[in-house]
């Protein structure tokens, strides 16, 4: 595929900034839950849908041959080999509660984002529209952070010991999954400096890139939650994978500087052995 990933990253940033403005400026007074998805805690607001509609339309104008896969309704097959993998508001619960820790996440990927291990991001942007934080990355081009239009700074992860590591994680929306996640977490918590559940997987991965989290893991992520952040963390020198060194997937996404990554992987492996497999009813 003939692509210029730096150009795709510029497009990702442009449309993510636009959608971020929309979700802040046009938030209705008394915003509520528009619908629920997989469970009663898996919420969507009208603004998730409006943000996604905006991204779908704009990417359609700018890159008409590319595919589109987003968290909400609307998908397009790819003619070019590139598919945009988009989370219109990652951290919807934070958005609902006006906690300023949510983001628009836009990534350009090659392969099929519907199949684990069969795709990878080549460019991406994560934008927190409240704080103005912007993260971008493209394959081979590094990971970058800026506040608003200020000059971006290149990101590089640092190693630290597991005992000194601030570890991010997150929980799914399904009650059985949460019980499993809580059990695994009880094995991780005594081994790390502390745990954060910040509520946006896209931002968590960017935090690993910038060092405001040392390491991060979560079970149950979708491609749109991880696509752009995966590339930002990778381009900052982190390892982002599942427990077996393969591409991250719903089963597990684990991100951190390489040695720290392997230390947490070992703890998680031990924890999962003791807790047993997740019981899906």
Enumerate the known binding-site residues: 71, 87, 89-90, 225
Please state, in angstroms and rounded to a whole number, the distance separating the CA atoms of residues 208 and 216. Answer: 7
Q: For residue 78, which of 62, 92, 89, 67 has the smallest C-alpha distance?
A: 67
Do residues 187 and 265 make contact, with C-beta atoms less than 8 angstroms apart? no
SS3 174: coil
Of these, 92, 128, 160, 234, which contacts ligand IPD (CB under 6 A)? Answer: 92
Report 206-235 residues binding ligand IPD (CB under 6 A).
218, 220-221, 225
- Candidates 16-24, 26-34, 88-96, 157-165; binding stretch for ligand IPD (CB under 6 A): 88-96
Give the residue ranges of the annotated binding site for Mg(2+).
Answer: 71, 87, 89-90, 225
Nearer to ligand IPD, 5 or 88 (CB): 88
CB of 224 to ligand IPD, least distance (A): 7
State the minimum distance, in angstroms, from the CB of residue 46 to ligand IPD.
15
Among residues 87, 133, 235, 242, which is the contact residue for ligand IPD, using CB under 6 A?
Answer: 87
How many CA within 13 A on the CB side of residue 3? 24
Q: Report yes or no: 91 and 199 within 8 Å, Cβ to Cβ.
A: yes
Which 8-state DSSP code applies to residue 236? T
Q: Which is nearer to ligand IPD, 92 or 160 (CB)?
A: 92
Q: How far is the CB of 221 from ligand IPD (least distance, A)?
A: 6
What are 118's two structure tokens?
A: 């069969």
- Binding status of residue 200 toward ligand IPD by CB under 6 A: yes
Angle subtended by helix axes 175-188 and 258-275, to nearest 10: 120
In the region spanning residues 162 to 191, those forming contacts with ligand IPD, defined by CB under 6 A, are 170-172
Q: Which CB, 101 or 139, lies closer to ligand IPD? A: 101
CA 261 to chain CA centroid, Å, is 17
Which residue in the set 66, 71, 210, 242 belongs to the binding site for ligand IPD (CB under 6 A)?
Answer: 71
Nearer to ligand IPD by C-beta: 170 or 256?
A: 170
State how far the Cα of 158 lies from the Cα of 54, in Å rounded to an integer.
37
Tokens representing 1 are 């595929």
Reported as half-sphere exposure (CB side, CA atoms, 13 A), residue 205 has a value of 35
Count of residues of this chain found to bind ligand IPD when the rule CB under 6 A is applied = 15
Q: Please report how close the Cβ of residue 95 comes to ligand IPD at its closest, in angstroms.
A: 8
Nearer to ligand IPD, 10 or 171 (CB): 171
Contact call for residue 201 and ligand IPD (CB under 6 A): yes
Q: Which stretch binds ligand IPD (CB under 6 A): 8-16, 19-27, 87-95, 123-131?
A: 87-95
Q: Residue 55 and residue 52: Cα distance in Å, rounded? A: 5
Q: Which residue's C-beta sits nearest to ligand IPD?
A: 170
Residue 226 Cα distances to 160, 187, 267, angstroms: 23, 24, 22
CA distance 270 to 264: 10
Per CB under 6 A, residues contacting ligand IPD are 71, 87, 90-92, 170-172, 199-201, 218, 220-221, 225
């Amino acid at each position: 595929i003939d692509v210029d990933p730096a150009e795709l990253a510029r497009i990702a940033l442009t449309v993510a900034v636009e959608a971020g403005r929309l979700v802040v400026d046009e938030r209705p007074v008394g915003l509520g839950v528009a619908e629920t998805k997989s469970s009663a805690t898996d919420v969507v607001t009208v603004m998730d849908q409006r943000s996604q509609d905006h991204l779908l339309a704009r990417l359609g104008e700018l890159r008409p041959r590319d595919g589109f896969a987003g968290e909400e309704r609307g998908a397009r097959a790819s003619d070019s080999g590139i598919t945009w993998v988009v989370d219109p508001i990652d951290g919807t619960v934070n958005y609902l509660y006006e906690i300023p820790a949510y983001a628009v996440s836009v990534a350009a990927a090659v392969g099929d984002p519907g199949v684990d291990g069969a795709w990878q991001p080549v460019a991406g942007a994560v934008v927190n529209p409240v704080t103005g934080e912007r993260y971008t990355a493209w394959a081979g081009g590094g990971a970058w952070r800026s506040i608003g239009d200020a000059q971006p700074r290149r990101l590089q992860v640092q190693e630290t010991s597991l005992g000194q590591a601030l570890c991010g994680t997150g929980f799914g929306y399904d009650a059985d999954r949460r019980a499993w996640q809580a059990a695994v977490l009880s094995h991780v918590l005594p081994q790390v400096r502390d745990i954060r559940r910040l509520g946006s997987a896209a931002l968590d991965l960017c935090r690993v890139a910038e060092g405001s989290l040392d390491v991060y893991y979560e079970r149950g992520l979708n491609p749109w939650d991880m696509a752009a952040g995966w590339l930002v963390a990778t381009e900052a020198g982190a390892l982002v994978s599942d427990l077996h060194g393969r591409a991250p997937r719903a089963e597990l996404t684990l991100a951190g500087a390489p040695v720290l990554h392997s230390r947490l992987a070992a703890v998680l492996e031990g924890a999962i052995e003791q807790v047993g497999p997740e019981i899906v009813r």
